[in-house]
Chains A and B, each alone.
Chain A
Amino acid sequence: MPDITFLMGQDPAGASNQFYSLAKQYFTAAGGTVVDAPSAKGQTLEGVFAKLTSLGTAQTTINIVCHATGYASMEFGLTSASTDAWVDADDLQNALNAKVPAAPGSAIISSKTRVVIYGCDVGRSSRFLTMLSGLFGDPGEILAPKRIAVFMLSGDPAKPVKYRLAQTWSVAQKSPLVVAGTAAPAGGWDAFRKTFVTNASFKFGRAVAGTGDPLGDSVLTSMLTDAAKTATTATAATFFLQEEIDIFADKGQTAAQAAATISPISNGDPITSFAPTVGAIDDTTVLTTVTSADTYPTTPAKTAFTITVAILAQIMDHEPLIAQGPDYASYTSGKARAPSPGPKAASAGDGGDGGGAVADGGDPMQAATQALLDGGASQADIDALDADAPTGDGTADIDTDAPQVALDDGDTGSGSPETLESA
């Protein structure tokens, strides 16, 4: 049974990133059926299911080509009535609870079907994959990349487009990577690269200790410097891109209030082991968690806020292994193991999706609390555990830069008269 591939969008006119066009060439050359997005608005999950239902054939491999982010989101609508261009795990969970869109059924998607995502980073969220698997009707396996997914020209006439993943390093910043209508960051590429490498070296340097490499800090900085030195927003061996997380206000809330109250969101599940080597220190081994402190207004009147994550990417020039491993995450929906979708999480911003880290245990503190109460502990004692939690912000009022100073006209910087050598 040949693959069927759904392109969930179209490249905007003039786009430098020909993601969908190149993907179409790639999958067409590989054989099988390629289903274009029906319009510039893109394909919906409902449309995918309708197409599969209309084919009426048991599927072996369903490829989904779609822009996505490490913050557990993909760029498609759930149904034709959807107004959101992006879906996150909450949206999937709501859809699953509402059973809309409905999966095509086990005659088409079965335990022998695998769904393969070709979209950036979304394999880092086990909760997203769990929900997506449920919406597809629990196929045998759903696979998604842990890294940025890139289609690029190969230079090989026999196979003109290749599919690659990219190693990435993310740093949140309070400005767009490139202002609309310009080709470079404010201040130019050199200055941006220098700042990015400095910030990334610090951020990712936290993981160096775990490698046991005494020269790890220098190695990391060299690795980042090399990756950044020619990178621009043009897709190449190394390049920069940005992910933007727009903040939407609830009813009765201003944009600023919404920005100030968002819950932290991470670009992946909690990291549970150290990077074994400095070369493995990247977004897959060090999370980027963004908070309200990372938001900034995008309009002078502060009617809209966003979070920008600048990402340095470096193509890993090998054919990705589409199986559970370093390149892809796999979710298998054995019925006995599949977690219940349950009610929608109360908090927003659950991009960390930590629940996936312990597959079967649920919330251990909740279980312990119940056991303590059953064992005779008082609620007051248990409540006392939560008392004295740190409050405030320990970083408030810490300056890291020198204050502005006005030098004296005669300040030679030296104690010596000008006729003498300095100390």
Chain B
Amino acid sequence: MTLLSVLTALTADWKGNAIECDYALSVDDAGVLPVNIDPAAPEWSLPMSAQSVTIVATPTVQTFWPTTVTFAVGADGRLTPDADSAPWVTINDVAVPGTVATKASIVVSRFKDVSVDVITEFDNVPVTRQGKPAKVRKDYEERYGSWPPPDLDLVDRPGVNFLDLPVPAQGVSFSPDTTVHVKAENVVLQLAGVVAPKLWGVSWPESIERKDGAEATSFLVFLRQGNAQYIGSFFAGDGQSAYPINFDYVTFGYFDDMAYPDPDVFNQPGSKGVPYQAAKAGAAVVTVHPVNSLNEDFGVIESTKQLGRILLELQQFMFRTSGVAAPPKTLGKAALASFSSGTHILARMLARSDNLAESFLGSDVNAVYFLDAPEWSVTDCVTAALAWAGPPESDRRVRFYTQSLWNPLKKLFPAPLPTPPFITSTTLRTLGYIPTPSWVPIVKAEINVTLPDNQVWQYAHHAIAATMLTHALSQGDFT
């Protein structure tokens, strides 16, 4: 019989740096046991009758979430974490007959899984826009065939016309590919304590195994358009909750970048289907979707040091939630993709001197993608991207896709360029130019719809992101 079983707990981040916590310990799902001595380094005397013990370690700082770990108590008084807890706690103990002393070293994370909250929010559809009656639910039902989705799975879209690969020297074409399946764990995580991005969509393909000894993960970070343009129209008001979880953030800000419409992307290219494009391209990459806020946009990750640290934390979280206690401690190759006004945010990131001096942007980021950079942004994008890329031996890849051949883009390849539309590409550079007018016959051919003149630019703007990212992801940037 165990006469004396004493438990103490300590908490750290995944790197072993101390995180101060408040602790609550309960025994056999009963009341909370008093903590003794020091709340920062607690000690508990466990009852002899204890069968199970649960500790909740709640950080006293805003930048980490609580961790809950549960143990079974053996006949000898020794503690064994259950399967869900095992990746988050290490047990050290000393035992002699009748007495055991145990130290629980708990790991806390900056991320928590809020997928259930996001799925619930899908059904919290606004009935007004800017105070006026709106048919938002009907729009989403029409776009995706039904609404709300029951989960975050990305269903097969056999009717989608993907960009045909490889692309020819001149011209582009599209066709269905029923071999494309997004077999992935899709989750939405919430990052603690930052102004933005608080929400992070993640699509982790099954083919990228999370197991002991796994290689470091390669990531594609997709920077959607900036949100400043939506102040007064989306993301706030009409009865919606504050950032980060309301209908607009979980749909327009997240789901629409993950999903493809039903039946075809050409029906609504506002849905970008990024994980589908990665699957079509055969890219072994986890796609990551920071959800920018209305007022702070991409917030802390304009510092690439912060972005790198967050991706490491994300990798740790995703491995541990799949049962791996020792995830990789470095990152694989990373690419940063950006769309529309998001291209200028990426340009700023590439141009900051403090970013250029740190290791994530300097070593881990292997490629940058610009999806239809607007005219006001494109000069900064080209300048910053080429400066970051440096000489060919740096092996840093820069890929632009556009509907307008702005002059700065002509620095990417020597004249003469092919007759548009074209995607011309080398290992290190890509320029895809599908002129605005050329989308009219493409859409007519794919879905038999004639685009109104006043909608062609906007359609092409989104369609470039919804189709051309496939090409970028097929260029071997993650191998």
Contacts and interface: CB of A to CB of B under 8 A. Distances in A.
Interface in B1-38: 3-6, 8, 10-13, 15-20, 22, 24, 31-38
Contact of A420 (B45, B56, B196, B458): B458
B99 A372 contact: yes
B16 A391 contact: yes
Interface in A359-407: 361, 363-365, 367-369, 371-372, 375-377, 381-382, 384-386, 388-403, 405
A127 to B, nearest CB: 12
Contacts of A369: 101
B195 A402 contact: yes
Contacts of A375: 96-99
A125 interface: no
A394 B6 contact: no
Nearest to A264: B40
B296 interface: yes
B377 interface: yes
B17 A394 contact: yes
B34 A400 contact: no
Contacts of B376: 408, 410-412
A23 to B, nearest CB: 33
A271 B22 contact: yes
B24 A398 contact: no
A365 B101 contact: yes
B303 interface: yes
Give the size range of B's interface with the partner: 35 or more
B306 to A, nearest CB: 5
B300 A354 contact: no
A239 B180 CA distance: 63
Nearest to A373: B96
Given A361-B45, A415-B339, A367 B4 contact: yes
A390 B37 contact: no
A14 interface: no
B230 A422 contact: yes
Interface stretch (B79-87, B209-217, B314-322, B340-348): B340-348
Contacts, number: 227
A191 interface: no
B205 interface: no
A401 B195 contact: yes
A272 B44 CA distance: 11
B66 interface: yes
Contacts of B38: 270, 352, 354
Give the size range of A's interface with the partner: 35 or more
B34 A358 contact: yes
A363 B6 CA distance: 10
B226 interface: yes
A402 B36 contact: no
A399 B98 CA distance: 48
Contacts of B225: 414-415, 423
Interface stretch (A46-54, A202-210, A240-248, A313-321): A202-210
A375 B43 CA distance: 21
A47 to B, nearest CB: 35
A398 B193 contact: yes
A402 B198 CA distance: 12
Given A274-B24, A413-B229, A363 B43 contact: yes
B105 A388 contact: yes
Given A206-B58, A382-B94, A395-B61, A411 B344 contact: yes
Contacts of A202: 62
A395 B94 contact: no
A238 interface: no
A216 B287 CA distance: 33
> Interface centre among B37, B375, B380, by most A CB within 10 Å?
B37
Contact of A416 (B4, B42, B354, B374): B374
List of 10 A-B pairs having minimum Cβ-Cβ separation, nearest first: A415-B340, A375-B96, A413-B228, A410-B376, A390-B12, A394-B17, A390-B18, A394-B13, A368-B6, A414-B229
Interface of B: 3-6, 8, 10-13, 15-20, 22, 24, 31-40, 42-45, 56, 58, 60-64, 66, 92-101, 103, 105, 108, 110, 193-196, 225-230, 270, 296-300, 302-303, 305-306, 309, 339-341, 344, 348, 352, 354, 372, 374-377, 380, 454, 457-458, 461-462
Given A270-B39, A368-B4, A413-B226, 13 more contacts: A266-B39, A289-B40, A368-B5, A368-B101, A377-B94, A385-B93, A385-B103, A390-B19, A391-B18, A395-B19, A414-B229, A417-B375, A423-B462
